Amino acid sequence: MSVLVFIDQADGHVKKTVFEALSYGAALAAKLGTTAEGLFLGKAAEELGALGKYGISKIHHVDNETLNHLDAQVFTAVIAQAVSSTNATVVVFSNNLNAKAIAPRLSARLKAGLIAGAVALPDTSSGFNVKKNVFSGKAFANVAVDTPVKIISLNPNSFQVTESGGTAEVVALNLDVPAPKVKVTSVNKVKGEIPLSEAELVISGGRGLKGPENWHLVEDLAKALGAATACSRAVADAHWRPHHEHVGQTGLAIAPNLYFAIGISGAIQHLAGVNRSKVIVVVNKDPEAPFFKAADYGIVGDAFEVMPKIIEAVKKIKG
Ligand SMILES: Cc1cc2nc3c(=O)[nH]c(=O)nc-3n(C[C@H](O)[C@H](O)[C@H](O)COP(=O)(O)OP(=O)(O)OC[C@H]3O[C@@H](n4cnc5c(N)ncnc54)[C@H](O)[C@@H]3O)c2cc1C
């Protein structure tokens, strides 16, 4: 019996949300009186043992070229084998796009109960009950799971990252890696931009900015802070910004440390993609804008007057 945490990677680098999943896995293992271990698939571009500081004792590494890029079917097959060879009874993912592709497949394959969008450690006083987000973050549900293997996909920014351990032992795991049914023939990445899904700071603009010619107000602040840029769907639909920047129910769901929204009303469909952000700052000239209800800090004012002052102040602080 152990807790197995999936260590998600991009180009061999561990994604930051994994630190939270590892801390969660370690705390869960302590609660269950067992150990937490990690699982890394593909070539590693960094020293994996250092992840032990998040409280895991061992990392299983399946170093196979086929696993350098995500193929959900192949990853599912390999993780299922890892679960059985490590005797894991709980598998923890960070609830990102990769987990959304893998965890349901793994759940079906292992006949394991899946809690997607967990926001807290399970209550094990009577059974195994986990609190999770439902209705796009508008409500919580407590879900009881009684399958022998359980899968938890943890919503980012739900659990404190804690450094409680030392160095983890990294062990090679030899598993069958099936041939992918789909072959990636090329990848064209957007260059020079911070990927939105990974960004800790996000500056976002809405229709209140009136047109693409005013996007320097978003971009200048993003540049000064080292942030990614995002937008509302209305803006992407109007072709002011590319669709990969659109956040919300039908766009990307993000959970940065800072979400700074300029001229966005805060419609429920927009909030569904950003309400897991740690700190939300809203600039809107309408004091009744719904976004203010979700904001940690709000500025009621005209973005064209407020933003240049904020950008100037940030530039001054950043030197
Ligand atoms: C099924 C469905 C799915 C959807 N999915 C998404 C989604 O994923 N993401 C998403 O974003 N939307 C989504 N929408 C659309 C959503 O309902 C809103 O229409 C959209 O978010 C509005 O975008 P906005 O806030 O930029 O524009 P608006 O609603 O036009 O709001 C503009 C805001 O700017 C403020 N403003 C105006 N001028 C200024 C100024 N000078 N300074 C400061 N503030 C100013 C206004 O007060 C207003 O609050 C969806 C809708 C449906 C029906």
Task: pLDDT tens for the chain, 319 residues: list them.
Answer: 899 999 999 999 999 889 999 999 999 999 999 999 999 999 999 999 999 999 999 999 999 999 999 999 999 999 999 999 999 999 999 999 899 999 999 999 999 999 999 999 999 999 999 999 888 777 899 999 999 999 999 998 889 999 987 999 999 999 999 999 988 888 887 776 778 888 999 999 999 999 999 999 999 999 999 999 999 999 999 999 999 999 999 998 898 999 999 999 999 999 999 998 999 999 999 999 999 999 999 999 999 999 999 999 999 998 7
pTM for the full predicted model: 0.81
Give residue 187's pLDDT. Answer: 82
For residue 228, the CA-to-ligand 1 centroid distance in Å is: 19
Give residue 145's pLDDT. Answer: 97
Mutate to test the pocket of ligand 1, among 284, 291, 299 (most ligand atoms within 8 A of CB): 284
> Other CB atoms closer than 10 Å to residue 77's CB: what's the count?
18
Give residue 318's pLDDT. Answer: 87
Mutate to test the pocket of ligand 1, among 213, 221, 232 (most ligand atoms within 8 A of CB): 232
Residues in Cβ contact with 181 at an 8 Å cutoff, skipping those fewer than 6 apart:
71, 73
Q: Please identify, by atom number, the ligand 1 atom nearest to the C-alpha of residue 246.
A: 9
The pair phi, psi for residue 74, each rounded to 5°, is -65, -45
For residue 240, the CA-to-ligand 1 centroid distance in Å is: 13
Give residue 131's pLDDT. Answer: 98
Give residue 162's pLDDT. Answer: 93
Q: Please identify, by atom number, the ligand 1 atom nearest to the C-alpha of residue 249.
A: 8
Give residue 192's pLDDT. Answer: 64
Residues contacting ligand 1 via CB (< 6 Å): 206-208, 232-235, 246, 248-251, 263-265, 267, 269-270, 273, 283-286, 289, 302-304
Order of strands across the sheet that contains 35-41: 139-144, 129-134, 113-118, 150-154, 88-94, 2-7, 35-41, 58-62, 169-172
DSSP-derived 3-state class of residue 171: strand
Q: Please identify, by atom number, the ligand 1 atom nearest to the C-alpha of residue 234.
A: 23
> Other CB atoms closer than 10 Å to residue 220's CB: what's the count?
18
For residue 217, the CA-to-ligand 1 centroid distance in Å is: 17
For residue 297, the CA-to-ligand 1 centroid distance in Å is: 19
Mutate to test the pocket of ligand 1, among 229, 249, 291 (most ligand atoms within 8 A of CB): 249
* Beta-sheet pairing, 2-7 with 35-41: parallel
Give residue 117's pLDDT. Answer: 94
